[in-house]
Copies of this chain bind each other. A is one copy, B any other.
Amino acid sequence: MLKYSLEKLFFSNSFCKSNQFRCISHFSASIWDVTSGKHREGDQLNVKGWVKSVRKLKEHAFLEINDGSCNKNLQLVVDKAQLNGAAYGSSVDASGTLGVTPKNQLELKVERLQEFGKCPLSEGYPFYPKKSYPPDYVRNHLHLRPQVSSLASTLRVRHHATKCFNDYLDREGFFQIHTPIITSNDCEGAGEAFLVRPASADLLKQMAKKDVPLDRAYFDRQAYLTVSGQLHLEAMSHGLGKVYTFGPTFRAENSKSPIHLSEFYMLELEEAFMETLEDLTNRIESMIKHVTKSLLDVASEDLAAVRKLTDDSTLEESFSWLDKPYPRITFKEAIHVLEQNKSKLKSVVRPEEGINKEQELFLVSHFQCPLFVIDWPKAIKSFYMRENRTEPALVDAMDFLVPHVGELVGGSVRENEYDRLKAKLPDQEALRWYLELRKFGSVPTAGFGLGLERYLCWVLNVHNIRDVIPFPRWAHNCSM
């Protein structure tokens, strides 16, 4: 009765069905496969990709194609008669034999070329061949942006960085927790939060309850997009021990700043039984160094391709900070350095307001190194930070500052004593659950938040955060 028997289906190979000519002997390969040495001269291959350039000589055409698997192109050598209209921007399916150029590069001597789709430049394609465009222009064409090689490299680096962070934390015994995106707790002040409600007015009416305003009917309460998973993560650390969350976070700010977005990715970590700022800063330093070294191992070509747009240094020079120990200076010491150097600063040093971006960058350049600022004044930090047990005007908090970005990581040891926390809690009713963590089996915990985009801006030397995230959202901007 059935069209296919189980065995036939499972072992059948669709390879030959759709593209008969490939069946002769051509093995489907990515350009990464080819350029990383998986194939050699004489191999019969099928490759597919987008045409990045076309050069025509007497009888042959030379096409550079890229398939997104890496930042390198593969050269196709095609009989002009076989070109079938393939031109810059169009997509092709090519089968042939791998040969070697006079310069000892692999190239595909094409026996058959098919075009999937054309690319009519005259009908509005925004990227002309052999032209380079400024990031602002590229960003105006979000949907076609991955076809620009520097953006594709950036997104591959983003993939690898995400994986390196996850791998490091898994090896270190941390469990990834998906903290909620929609939350009824508004951790750091409603001013910066987005509200969430169903789009359907009918649904809201249907769900209406007495004494609940209609726009809150879906969840029976006000619901926000998360501004931080920290408090939820602290709950998870009480039971799971070492936990982290690595996902989207939101800020409703009217900001045009090149280091702020409305939607960005944050790695937040919480480690149970961690009691000191020194352990916390060691954890951060170790993580940043391990992750960046792994990233250089797997993504150096893409990293170099993006960095070369803004910086002439070699990767070795650019990443010399990997071999340095990072200083820990106190907030008081930081202010002292800034005051000693106030003639070099545009902004006024106001310790009661903390350290602004210009001042952060000055500190990094003064110490010629990423650095930690520890022991912050209690008055300017959050309620959940532990009051220093010997200097009660301070909290056990830290910021980690890096070149050209400023603050990359902020963290603290948390207040784990029930009575002290209760006295400081801003909203007793909404955060009763948070207080209970310190009532039932409380343990010391410490943690931090790291912005993925800021990390990428730093390691890629990209100066606008909108160019390291696939779909940037900021004030007045949410296309697609």
Contact = CB atoms under 8 A, between A and B. Distances in A.
A32 B198 CA distance: 44
Contacts of A325: 6-7, 9-11
B14 A276 contact: yes
Interface in A249-275: 250, 252-254, 262-263, 265, 272-273, 275
A2 B152 contact: no
Interface stretch (A74-82, A230-238, A404-412, A459-467): A230-238
B2 A240 contact: no
A14 B199 contact: no
Given A67-B241, A155-B240, A416-B117, A475 B207 contact: yes
Contact of A327 (B6, B142, B162): B6
Contact of A279 (B14, B144, B152, B219): B14
A219 B473 contact: yes
Contacts of A192: 200
Contacts of A190: 199-200
A68 to B, nearest CB: 3
Nearest to A121: B440
A263 B247 CA distance: 14
Contacts of A176: 159, 162-163
B183 A480 contact: yes
Nearest to A217: B476
Given A18-B275, A247-B247, A196 B225 contact: yes
A441 B191 CA distance: 44
A448 to B, nearest CB: 16
A470 B175 CA distance: 12
A478 B182 contact: yes
A391 interface: no
Contact of A223 (B236, B272, B478): B478
A19 interface: yes
B203 A470 contact: no
A301 to B, nearest CB: 14
A111 interface: no
Given A147-B441, A155-B236, A219 B470 contact: no
Instruction: Report how many copies the assembly holds.
Output: 2
Given A119-B441, A330-B3, A440-B89, A263 B180 contact: yes
Contact of A219 (B6, B285, B476): B476
A455 B224 CA distance: 28
A477 interface: yes
A232 B166 contact: no
Contacts of A285: 10
Interface of A: 1-4, 6-7, 9-12, 14, 17-19, 30, 32, 48-50, 67-69, 89-91, 93, 116-120, 123-125, 142-148, 151-152, 155-156, 158-159, 162-163, 166, 170, 173, 175-186, 190-200, 203, 206-207, 218-225, 232, 235-242, 247-248, 250, 252-254, 262-263, 265, 272-273, 275-276, 278-279, 282, 285, 325-330, 333, 336, 416, 418, 433-434, 436-444, 469-471, 473, 475-480
17 contacts: A9-B325, A10-B285, A18-B275, A68-B272, A117-B438, A117-B442, A143-B436, A146-B238, A146-B240, A178-B470, A180-B473, A182-B194, A184-B478, A194-B196, A195-B199, A220-B476, A232-B480
